[in-house]
């Protein structure tokens, strides 16, 4: 019995997206990996076809779809074996802040462009000395007349080079309580005082642009604040649940994809005796063991997806899934790479890219150690 109930519209959407990715995106992914960035036209093509921000209502140009559409996009994007077109970050992590906390004027101004791909978004939380501990951030936001003045730096910002719109978390230095001092602000690329820094070189995620950001007396209208003054920390905590679930979905899809292509390789590649690698007991057992863990992960994850789609998020189980599934994906990438032998050491092997890319997922959305702390706290430990 399947936990998630996809209907005909979902299935048609998946097939249309898969065909689109195969014809319009995948022929270019190797080039984008070498260039270390995905061009904006790819985002715009994705948007024009209705594959970005599927949860945004029709009122703002979106599909108005349920959460299963987000799951479908995340899974199918994983099958492209590249990370540059970070639609999950844009559609299901950043844009939901605007949907939930933006004013009507902010929604009308930005959401249509987010849907079409003309506006690429990023969120700037992480700082050089403040990662998972958001309360320790030092970027400031001070009121000056009817403007807000931003100062500080951010780092490891995904979509940082391509971003046209950034949600920036910053503190009011006059408020001592760190949990009541943070607010979120919408900052457009090109705003005076806002500078994009280095395009960071990474061990993986090569086609994904990751950057530093600097704010030096960056003035924005006070109306660019989202939600009430000082509510930013609570807004971040609320939306981080979906971000963690989306990270688990990405990790699960990556594990399934790597296992699928490795099984195919082992069935079709002969050993020295002329028999398929999959007939060797050690290889067979390794594949079966990985398949068992991957199916366990899928069952656990689908239960969480169903609850999230029904408006019943599980903080403890989401934290568990985020850490366990991303760790699972790392184990699978390692074991699959081993089964390729010498070929696995070459860039021609598709697992090589996946092996590099999957490493950072245990850091995204709060490190896996933080996930265990959260689960432990809510378990009363």
Residue 152 above 80 pLDDT? yes
Residue 132 above 70 pLDDT? no
Residue 130 above 80 pLDDT? no
CA angle 127, 133, 135 (to 5 degrees): 90
Residue 137 has a pLDDT of 87
**Mean pLDDT confidence for 320-349:** 94
Q: Which of 33, 127, 212, 243 is catalytic?
A: 243
Residue 139 has a pLDDT of 94
Q: What is the CA radius of gyration of the chain?
A: 21
Residue 136 has a pLDDT of 80
Helices in the chain by DSSP H: which ranges? 8-20, 29-35, 40-48, 67-78, 87-89, 95-101, 104-116, 232-268, 281-309, 315-339, 350-357, 368-378
First to last CA, the chain: 35
**Mean pLDDT confidence for 157-161:** 95
Residue 250 above 80 pLDDT? yes
Nearest to 41 by CA among 118, 149, 127, 109: 118
Distance CA 329, CA 321 (A): 12
Least confident of 112-116, 118-122, 287-291, 355-359: 355-359
Q: What is the pLDDT of residues 277-304, one digit of tens each?
A: 999 999 999 999 999 999 999 999 999 9
Element (H, E) at 151: strand 147-158
> Class of 123-229 per CATH?
mainly beta
Q: What is the pLDDT of residues 58-95, one digit of tens each?
A: 999 999 999 999 999 999 999 999 999 999 999 999 99
Residue 131 has a pLDDT of 65
Q: Answer for the pair 78, 250: CB distance below 8 angstroms, yes or no.
A: yes
Is residue 243 among the annotated active site residues?
yes
Residue 326 above 80 pLDDT? yes
The proportion of the chain whose per-residue pLDDT surpasses 70, expressed as a percent, equals 99
The fold for domain 234-378 equals Butyryl-CoA Dehydrogenase, subunit A; domain 3 (1.20.140)
Distance CA 345, CA 208 (A): 22
Q: What is the pLDDT of residues 178-230, one digit of tens each?
A: 889 999 999 999 999 999 999 999 999 999 999 999 999 999 999 999 999 99
pLDDT band, residue 366 (cuts 50/70/90): confident
**CATH of range 8-119; options 3.40.50.300, 1.10.1200.10, 2.40.170.20, 1.10.540.10:** 1.10.540.10
Give the residue extent of every domain in the chain.
Answer: 8-119, 123-229, 234-378
Q: Answer for the pair 209, 38: CB distance below 8 angstroms, yes or no.
A: yes
Residue 248 above 90 pLDDT? yes
Residue 347 has a pLDDT of 87
Residue 135 above 80 pLDDT? no
């Amino acid at each position: 019995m399947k936990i998630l109930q996809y209907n005909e519209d979902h299935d048609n959407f998946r097939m249309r997206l898969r065909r689109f990715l195969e014809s319009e995106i995948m022929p270019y992914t190797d080039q984008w990996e070498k260039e270390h960035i995905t061009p904006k036209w790819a985002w715009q093509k994705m948007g024009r076809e209705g594959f970005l921000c599927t949860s945004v209502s029709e009122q703002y140009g979106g599909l108005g779809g349920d959460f299963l559409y987000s799951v479908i996009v995340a899974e199918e994007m994983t099958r492209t074996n590249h990370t540059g077109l970070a639609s999950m970050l844009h559609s299901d992590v950043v844009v939901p802040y605007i949907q939930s906390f933006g004013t009507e004027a902010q929604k009308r101004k930005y959401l249509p462009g987010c849907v079409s791909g003309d506006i690429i978004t990023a969120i700037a939380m992480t700082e050089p000395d403040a990662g998972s501990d958001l309360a320790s951030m030092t970027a400031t936001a001070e009121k000056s007349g009817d403007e807000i003045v931003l100062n500080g730096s951010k780092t490891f910002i995904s979509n940082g080079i391509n971003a046209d719109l950034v949600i920036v978390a910053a503190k009011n230095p006059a408020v001592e309580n760190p949990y009541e001092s943070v607010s979120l602000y919408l900052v457009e690329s090109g705003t005076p005082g806002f500078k994009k820094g280095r395009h960071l070189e990474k061990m993986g995620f090569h086609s994904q642009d990751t950057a530093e950001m600097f704010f030096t007396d960056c003035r924005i209208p006070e109306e660019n604040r989202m939600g009430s003054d000082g509510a930013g920390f609570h807004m971040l905590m609320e939306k981080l649940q979906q971000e963690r679930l989306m990270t688990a979905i990405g990790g699960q899809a990556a594990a399934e994809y790597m296992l699928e292509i490795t099984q195919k390789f082992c069935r079709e590649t002969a050993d020295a005796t002329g028999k398929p690698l999959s007939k060797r007991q050690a290889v067979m057992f390794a594949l079966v063991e990985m398949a068992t863990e991957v199916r366990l992960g899928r069952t656990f994850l689908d239960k969480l997806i169903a609850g999230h789609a029904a408006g019943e998020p599980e903080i403890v189980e989401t934290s568990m899934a985020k850490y366990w599934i991303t760790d699972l994906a790392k184990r699978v990438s390692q074991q699959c790479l081993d089964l390729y032998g010498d070929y696995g050491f070459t860039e021609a092997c598709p697992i090589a890219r996946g092996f590099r890319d999957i490493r950072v997922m245990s850091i995204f959305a709060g490190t896996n150690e933080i996930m265990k702390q959260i689960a432990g706290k809510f378990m009363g430990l």
